[in-house]
Structure 1
Amino acid sequence: MSILDRLSRLLRANVNDLISRAEDPTKIIEQALLDMRDAYAQARSEVADSMAQLSKLEREQNTNTRLAQEYGEKAAEALKAGSEELAREALRRKKNYEDIAAGFSQQVATQSATVEELKTQLRALEGKIDEFQSKKELLQARAQTAKASQTLERMSGFDKSGSAMDAFEEMERRVAQQEDRAGAMRSLREENDLDAQLKNIGRDKAIDDELEKLKSQLGMGGSSSGGQQS
């Protein structure tokens, strides 16, 4: 599985988890970018490991190639010295090292292709991160705009809500009741004040009548001013 494939799976898993939890889109964007950077760091480490493995294989190939060459030279020296058996043994070792070197050569070719592919994927991932970073601010701005639009839609629909209208009507009814109650209490107070005034007037007249009656009995005349007749 390529680096980009694994990154894609990781991003889908993390983003889907955030979406399922109804996270803020800006958080999803930040998390996706963070995951991409983490994946890039991991990919760089894997590429470095692959390059180190390639270097090791190349060293093994070179070592076995050199040993094969050395034993070829030793076989020639042994043959010159008249030791055919020793030359034969040297040639067997030469062939053994050549076979090993050939095996490492195949591994080097395979590993070299793998390293180049990983480098290509790493560069592509780096480009994706740069592209995503450049778009992050725009995506966040769009998310904020969408959020504001949703808020405005909810506010514009508030006055169309039956429950909202019912609440306002109930408030208006209660205020009207309070106003009616206050008016009734004010009317009662004014009525009580008028009754008190009328009662006082009646009381004063009764006293005046009683005073005149007393004066008449005493032969003091009917003047309410209290003066004597001549």
Structure 2
Amino acid sequence: MSIIRRVRDITLASLNEHLEKSEDPVKLIDQFLWGTREEIIQSERLHSQYSAHSQHLKMQWLQAEQQKDKREQQAVTALKAGEEQLARIALHEKASADERAAQYRELYEQSRLSLEDLGNNLQEMRSEYQIAYDKREYYSARMESLKLQQRMNSRYGAVGGGKQDGMFRRLDDRLSGMEHEARSLRELRQGGVDSSQGRTGAQNPAVERELEQLKRKLGQGG
């Protein structure tokens, strides 16, 4: 079991699910990054304390091992000198050192495993932090692109596609009308009227009546 108590409301495993429902993914990721960063800081502090404690246990274990070896050598020396009582005392102290060494060794092994577990969790959290940070950068850039696109559409979409398009369309219609009038007059001059009538001055009564009607319609008749 991990020795780190999870304090985040959102884990990386559930972040994607929350992102799909969030209206502001950057804000949501910032909350995740803040919680993860706080957890990393606390875990790093705990890792440093655990590491110092583990080194202390190892030192106690090794000192007890050295004490055990030393008392054994003293017992041998005492026996060689014929001092059995001193040898017994040395062997008794050796047994105490041996027991102490075994105890500290067990504590050190437990501490080493916990330290390894803590290190793995730290590495996992740092990796999660980096993944979430990369996601934040992506969503931040994506939202900025969307905002700029909306601004562009607001400025050039409605204005360019509405008022300006209408203005150019009216101008085009007006020019087309003028071109049509000029083309009609040109066709009329080229062959629409009998040139012989034009030279002799003969007039057609029906034509004259229609001409007067057109003048009145155009505001030229009196």
Q: Look up the equivalent residue of 1:69 and give its one-letter code.
A: D
Separation of aligned partners in 2, 1:147 and 1:67: 73
Q: Tell me if structure 1 keeps the 8 A contact 2:64–2:98.
A: yes
Gaps of 5+ in 2: 12-21, 149-222
Separation of aligned partners in 1, 2:81 and 2:97: 23
Match of 2:5 in 1: 6
Offset, 1:44: 1.1
Higher-Rg member (1/2) = 1
Q: Tell me if structure 1 keeps the 8 A contact 2:71–2:90.
A: yes
Offset, 1:112: 1.1
Moved more, 30-39 or 93-102: 30-39
Offset, 1:143: 6.5
TM-score, structure 1 as length reference: 0.53
Gaps of 5+ in 1: 14-21, 149-230
Q: Look up the equivalent residue of 2:103 and give its one-letter code.
A: G
Instruction: Write out aligned runs for 1:53-202 (5 A).
Output: 53-140=53-140
Moved more, 29-38 or 121-130: 29-38
Offset, 1:116: 1.2
Separation of aligned partners in 1, 2:35 and 2:145: 25
Q: Look up the equivalent residue of 1:105 and give its one-letter code.
A: R
Q: What are the Cα deviations for residues 36-85 of structure 1, in whole angstroms up to 9, with x where unaligned?
A: 11111111111111111110110000110111111111111111221111
Q: Look up the equivalent residue of 1:112 and give its one-letter code.
A: R
TM-score, structure 2 as length reference: 0.55
Q: Tell me if structure 1 keeps the 8 A contact 2:47–2:119.
A: yes
Separation of aligned partners in 1, 2:60 and 2:41: 29
Q: Tell me if structure 1 keeps the 8 A contact 2:57–2:107.
A: yes
Instruction: Count residues in correspondence.
Output: 143
Offset, 1:147: 9.8
Q: Look up the equivalent residue of 1:134 and give its one-letter code.
A: D
> Aligned in 2, Cα 1:134/1:25: closer, same or farther, shift over 3 Å?
closer
Separation of aligned partners in 2, 1:147 and 1:32: 24
Q: Tell me if structure 2 keeps the 8 A contact 1:60–1:101.
A: yes
Separation of aligned partners in 1, 2:30 and 2:52: 33
Separation of aligned partners in 1, 2:90 and 2:78: 8
**Identity, % of aligned positions:** 28
Separation of aligned partners in 1, 2:39 and 2:144: 28
Q: What are the Cα deviations for residues 191-222 of structure 1, in whole angstroms up to 9, with x where unaligned?
A: xxxxxxxxxxxxxxxxxxxxxxxxxxxxxxxx
Separation of aligned partners in 2, 1:83 and 1:42: 57
**Paired residue secondary structure (1:130):** helix
Q: Look up the equivalent residue of 1:139 and give its one-letter code.
A: Y
Separation of aligned partners in 1, 2:29 and 2:145: 15
Offset, 1:10: 2.4
Offset, 1:121: 1.1
Separation of aligned partners in 2, 1:24 and 1:132: 15
Q: Tell me if structure 1 keeps the 8 A contact 2:61–2:100.
A: yes
Please state if 1:35 is matched with 2:38: no
